[in-house]
Every structure is written in structure tokens, then in C-alpha cells.
Structure 1
Amino acid sequence: MDYEVKADPLEAAFDAAVVPAVVQRPQLAAGDATNPAHKAFVDGYLRSGREVELKSFAGNVAADGGYAVPKEIDEVIDATLKAISPIRAVANVVRVGSAGYRKLVTTNGVSSGWASEVAARPNTATPVFNEIVPSFGELYANPAATQAMLDDAQFDVEAWLASEIATEFAKAEGSAFVNGDGVDKPKGFLTYTTAATSDATRAFGSLQYVASGAAGGLPASNPENTLLDLVHALRAPYRQGAVWVMNSSTLATIRKFKTADGAFIWTPGLVTGQPDTLLGFPVVESEDMPDIAANATPIAFGNFQAGYLIAERSETNILRDPYSNKPYVNFYATKRIGGAVSNSEAIKLLKIAAS
């Protein structure tokens, strides 16, 4: 006798599960595989060097000047830069359309007064406007890959290029934001004029420093009091969002400081994503900060969102060069970046000096 065997849905599901899945390259963002413009850029221009039409990309230019990197790759570069460039992570970053960016900052504010119902209202003082012009420079990276690597479909050219550019850019800009001289590069906050006077009497554009009290280092007795003086040199409105900036060597010294009752003044972040804190304020490690030494300024404390401005062009441009370094294909990436202290009252420095 013949029996009719009906398909078991559960068994069919198990059969389907053992079929090997097609391995795909990781995508930078959802929808990349279906984006013809993005595919044309990666497979056409980066891998093969074919000139492609990039109507959907803002700011694209001719092949001799490079193409604007698609948004998906550029966002990965920006995210990586923010993760490994410490000052960028806490500063005010603005996107500009040209290198002629300017920012106005007012000082003294608008004064006011009291008057009776029928009394005259004389003019009050007007604020003083100060123009901030960030120093711009062209940041570039020039990674290379062989054409054989680019022809290999398993080679993730998108991730490799984004990583290489981000690493090179982060090294250069991280140093410039701290120590840049402002000549064809951002002006670092440590290169500004410093004075020991307070905000009320110090010239706008110069940073206030607090002396450590010892000529060659931090005081041997109660060194944490010097850090407290630095905290309160920053006025209360700026302390909301303030951070410490120092290198790892200085941080190793600071982490050993204790209060009179034996408690460490440094507190580790106990939850994932929560920063380490010093006297209740987050700590940002920047290896471009100097070590503790005579007349050095190894510690900065301030609200960098209010105090330091990073201005950058919105696109990263890439020029593919298969000729200059055969058998390698170079990818010449450029981006215009500027930086300057925008509010000198929002950043304070600790200077290793007796006074």
C-alpha cells in the first residue's frame, strides 16, 4: 500500500538551516550593497581606477583633484577620528564650506540697571566683540596598496582605506590641536600666551595658568590642593562639561594622590562607557601633552566645547594614483582642517613653577 508523506515544516526548516550561507563583505552602512553610486566609487574608482560619475556626492571634483569620499566611508573616518583623537572628542567641531570661517565671541556682556517707573533709562554698556579666525591647513594621508590586493574581492578596500586615513589624520591633528603653531595647521591651545591673572583683568586670547607651587614638579605636601585651585580658577558656568587633559605619565602620578583620610582623588569608571574621573571631572588622555617638568604645562582643565574650535571641510577628497609608486596604487586623501582657542576663559593650565 502506498502512503502519501506530507512535508514536515519543521524538518524543512532544519534542512534549510544546514545550507551554507553566502559570505558577504562587511558593509559600512545599511543599504551600501544596493547603492549604485557607492558601488561605483568603491569597485569602479578605488579598485579599478575608472572615472565614475558621482552626481550624488556633494563637492565632487575632477579626477585631477580627487573625488569626494562617499558619506558612508567619510562617517567611518569621522567616527574613528573622534575615538582616537582625544581633543576632537571634547572640542566644538563645526563643518564649513570654505577656509574663510570666522567666529565672533563677546566679552563683558550687556550691562543692565535699575530704575523707577518714571525715571530715565540711560544707555548701558555694549559688549566687546572679538573675532576668532581658526588657522587652517591641509591634512593629507597617502596609503598604498598593490593592484593585486585591490583586485581581490575578499580584500575590504573600504574598511582598509577608512582605517588608514583615520589613523594618519588622527596622529597629525591630535598633535596640532595641542602644540600646533598655526602655520598651515591648527593653532594648539598650549601655544597661546599665558598669564597668572584672572579673567577680569587678563587680555582676551591669553590663557590663565595656575602655578604648581614647586619649581620642578608638584608640591610634596598636599599636591591635590593645587588641582583644586585649578578647578576653581575656572568659573562655575564653564565647569559644567569641563574635563582634564594630560598624558599617561602625568596621570600615573596624579592617580597616586590621596586625601587626608586616605581616599584616592582619582575614581575609575566602574560602568562600561563611563569615564574615569579626577575630583569628579572626566579625564582625557592626550600623549601630546608635555610631561611634568620645570616651566611645562602638563595639565589642562576646562570646557573644551566652549573653549576650543575645530573647523573642517565636510568632505575628504581622494585621488587615486597608480603611476608614481608602481606596483603600488596610492590613495592621496586630503582634508582642510583648522583649529583655534575660541574662548580663552574656558581653558585653564597648570604650570610647573614656584609662582
Structure 2
Amino acid sequence: MAQSIQALRERRDAIAKNINSLMENNKGKAWSAEHQKTYDDSMSEVDTINAEIKRHETILAKLGEDAAAGNPDGLLNAAIRTPGAQNEESRALRNFMLGGFQALTTDDVARHNARRSPEIQAAMSTGTGSEGGYTVATEYFRRLTEAMKAYGGLRSLATVIRTGTGAAMNFPAADATAEEGEIVGENAAASALDTAFLNMQLQVFKYSSKSIAIPFELIQDSMFDLELYIEALVAMRIGRISGRHHVTGTGTTQPMGALTASVTGKVGAAGQTATVGYDDLVDLEHSVDPAYRNGRSVGWLMHDQTVKAVRKIKDSDGRPIFVPGYEQGNPGGAPDRLLNRPLNVDQAMPQMAANAKPILFGDFSKYTIREVMDLTIFRMTDSAYTLKGQVGFVAFNRQGGNLIDVGGALKHYQNSAT
């Protein structure tokens, strides 16, 4: 299946390159009805390929859902351990999940302590005191981070930092964009102009995966990839909620979302309660100062349904403003482009509606996501699980986010109220 997906992506890339070439070589009045037909036919083929890729990806996702439901024909059969394939970190993690703290060898404990990487914590579990929390190894946490990107397009654009503690982190800020010097005469005194400074904070919040109950039968089956199963569920649960908060979080009991912290750049005219036009996008782009419009993380962010509407927009010469992306030496695909800027999708963005803020534009690197230390998994074997023939797991992760900027790096388009 992986080879099939790769082949489909290569076909899509080839078509996207042809579309890019077609639009680049036929600008302005040179764009004809024949060119438009070629564009429409090519985009139709791209959509067909995208649907096929999504179908394959849905099948893979279904395997995970089957495992979550206890279906023995799902991930259980797909996740077969290769003898000897586990590294020491993975083996220790599996031992902990199977038997708890007491199942770890003295070598496991000694090795981690010697490396000053305390992956074994003596925190109390729900049940007996000998059951401790297991801080995920570096390899596992890195995979978790990659998986979380699938749930939040913003995360791959933002600046991500890690800190050793969860104490409030301060960022001094100042807006001196309106300040300028002066010409003074001979022996004349210079005027005073003090810059106003302010303090921005980046706090963290504790996220939980909620409890995950695993039947004894699956734990006892050595052919079941327990680490992969737990990892997939943790990534999905924590990734979805934190990704949503990084976009629309309130900033009080949640991280400050990028959209929440952004400034209005353009409001649709009366009647545009569920639409956006070419001029609106141009106005939104130029509402952001040119100083913010260069860089790797500059672009658009919107819901997939908004992308669908934007794809139908044409410029004053009748040319579509949407250009499909294609790989340029980097595996995994490239973002589509809108007005020659990367177009990124995040399903946490609102869809177009009266007063909604469905489109975000600017420098997303100014949004900072903060992670504190590692993700921690706890194993629970109290009576609430034992009576049902289960072992419980729960994961915690501390993170936060805020737009560390006072100059309007991110601005949004807002639909009209009426």
C-alpha cells in the first residue's frame, strides 16, 4: 500500500508541475479558454488522485480504529514484532507496559540514571506504590511529535521550543514602528521619545490523553505491538485537542490560539457572510507589513472547506489563483499555493459563516509552541481495571502557545455579519 501511495503522489507531482508551467508561461491576457480547459482537466485529475490517496490513508487509519475496538483482524495482525528488532529503549518501554515498574531490569534503571535521562519516575499510580510513571524515551517522543502534525497544520509552521520547567516564561516586547528620529539645529536639544515596553507570557497547560484500557488478552499476546498501539491513541487524543487550542485557544484556561491573538486585516463587504473574493485576499495579504511577508513560515492557513471555495476564485484576467503544490526534492509533498504563497490546511480553523474568521495570513513562526520536558505515561492496575480484565494507561503532556509579536505578524479575514 505504501508503494501505491508513493506512486500516486509521484503522478500528482507530475501533473502539478505541468499546471505550474502552464500558468507561469501564460500570464495576463495570454490566458485563453483552451488554457482554462487544460487547467480544469488537470485539476480534475489531481482531485481524483487526491481522493485515491485519501482512500488508502483511510484504510491505514481503519487498522488503528479496529485495534481500538479490539478487532483481532485489525492492527493486531498488522503489527507483528520482528524478533530482535527492538532497541533498548523500546524494549524497556514494552517491559514497563507489560509488567509495570517491577518488570524493569536493574540494567534498565542503571543505564537511564547513568545517562541522566530519568525515563523511570517513582510517581505513584492509581494502584500500588510500586507502579511508577515512565517518561517516554527520546525516540518515542520524537515520533509522537511527528504524529501530532497530522492533526494540526499550524504546528509544522510555528516555532516549537522545549523548556526544563513549567514556570511562566516572559517575553519582553516593544512596538517602535511609529517612532522616528529628527533633525536638530546647532546647539539645539534633542527631543525625548521613550519606547513603551510590555511583557508577554507563555504559560503551559497539562494535557491528558484520558485513560486507555487494554484487555489482558492483548497485553499477553507477544505478537501485539503494544507501544505502537498506545502511541497512536496518545498522539490522536493529545494531538487533536492541543492542535485545536493552538488555533482557537482562549488564552485563559487554554493556550492562546494564533487566530485568537491575530488582528483583523480585512472584513468582507455586506453580503459576504460565506464568501471571500480575490480583492479580499489581496487586501488581507497587504494588511501585513512587508517586514513580515518574507520567510519560510509566511503563508495562508484555513479549513479544507475554505480551500474548496478559494480554488474557484479567478484574478482579473480570468486565471485561477490556486496552484497545486508539488515536491521539489523534499519527500512528503509540498503545500499548494495561493497568490504565490504556501496554502496550509488546519481543520481547527473555522469555516466561512457570518462573522467567522476563516482565513489567517502572515508569519506563523511568530506563534510559539512551548513543550515542557517529556510526555509521561502511567500504568494503572487498580480494581476498576482488574475487575474488567484490563490494564489502564494514561499519558500527560505539558505544553502551551502564544503569538509572541506586537507588530501584526498574523492577520485574519472576517466574513461580514450580514
TM-score by length of 2: 0.67
Opposite residue 343 of structure 1, the aligned amino acid is: D
Bigger shift: 180-189 or 343-352? 180-189
Residue of structure 2 in register with 1:20 after alignment: none
Q: Displacement, 1:322? A: 2.2
Task: For residue 112 of structure 1, report the CA deviation from its aligned partner.
Answer: 5.6
Unaligned runs of 5+ residues in structure 1 are 1-22, 193-205
**In structure 1, the residue corresponding to 2:413 is in which secondary structure?**
strand
Cα distance change of structure 1 residues 69 and 82 upon mapping to structure 2, 3 Å threshold:
same
CA distance in 2, matches of 1:266, 1:239: 19
Give the C-alpha shift of residue 102 in structure 1. Answer: 1.9
Aligned to 2:290: 236
**Residue in structure 2 matching 1:177, options 222, 246, 253:** 246
Structure 1 Cα separation of the partners of residues 353 and 365 of structure 2: 28
* Other-structure match for 2:54: none
CA distance in 1, matches of 2:174, 2:150: 32
Distance in 1 separating the partners of 2:85 and 2:405: 41
Per the alignment, residue 287 of structure 1 pairs with 347
Q: Show CA shifts across 1:327-350 (max 9, x none).
A: 221211001111122114110010
- Give the 3 Å change call, closer, same or farther, for CA 140–354 of structure 1 in structure 2: closer
Alignment coverage as a number of residue pairs: 311
The change in CA–CA distance for 1:125 and 1:42 in structure 2 (over 3 A counts) is farther
Provide the rounded CA distance (Å) in 2 between the counterparts of 1:298 and 1:34.
45
Matched, 1:213 2:269: yes
Look up the SS of the partner of 1:174 in the other structure. helix
> 1 CA distance for matches of 2:303 and 2:413?
13
Which of these residues, 157, 166, 173, is aligned with residue 105 of structure 1?
173
- Quick check: 1:333 aligned with 2:395? yes
- AA partner of residue 46 (structure 1): M
Q: Which has the larger radius of gyration?
A: 1
Distance across 1 between alignment mates of 2:313 and 2:281: 11
Does the aligned pair in 1 maintain the 2:266–2:414 contact within 8 Å? yes
In 1, distance between residues paired with 2:192 and 2:365? 30
Q: Shift of the alpha carbon at 1:261?
A: 2.4
Pairing 1:133–2:185 present: no
Equivalent in the alignment of 1:3: none
The 5 Å alignment of 1:224-263 reads: 224-240=278-294, 241-263=297-319
What is the rounded CA distance, in whole Å, between the counterparts of 1:154 and 1:115 in structure 2?
81
The alignment yields a C-alpha RMSD, in angstroms, of 3.0
State the partner residue of 1:346: 409
CA distance in 2, matches of 1:296, 1:58: 46
Residues 151-183 of structure 1: per-residue CA shift (max 9 Å, x gap): 222211222222111111111011111222234
State the alpha-carbon separation in 2 of the partners of residues 318 and 182 from structure 1: 26
Q: Secondary structure at the match of 1:325?
A: helix
Task: Return structure 1 stretches of 4+ with deviation > 6 angstroms.
Answer: 113-116, 118-121
Q: Alignment partner for residue 314 of structure 1, among 373, 387, 396?
A: 373
Question: Is 2:148 the counterpart of 1:81?
Answer: yes
User: More helix by proportion, 1 or 2?
Assistant: 2
How many Å apart are 1:319 and its aligned residue?
0.6
Q: Which residue does the alignment assign to 1:153? A: 222
TM normalised by structure 1 equals 0.78
Determine if contact 2:268/2:280 at 8 Å carries over to the other structure.
Answer: yes
Mean alpha-carbon deviation: is it higher for 211-220 or for 127-136? 211-220
Distance 1:187 1:302, change over 3 A: same
Cα distance in 2 between the residues matched to 1:160 and 1:188: 30
Structure 1 stretch 67-76 or stretch 138-147: which is displaced more? 138-147
1:40 corresponds to which of 87, 92, 97: 92
- The percentage of aligned residue pairs carrying the same residue is 27
Closer, same or farther: CA 295–145 of 1 in aligned 2, 3 Å: same
Q: Paired residue for 1:70?
A: 137
* Alpha-carbon displacement from aligned partner over 1:18-54 (angstroms, at most 9, x marks no partner): xxxxx98369xxx97453x5422322x1111134434
State the Cα deviation string for residues 67-120 of structure 1 (Å, max 9, x = none): 21111111110111123321111111111122222222232168666789x989
Deviation of 1:128 (Å): 3.3
Q: Which whole-Å CA distance do the structure 1 matches of 2:306 and 2:268 have between them?
A: 13
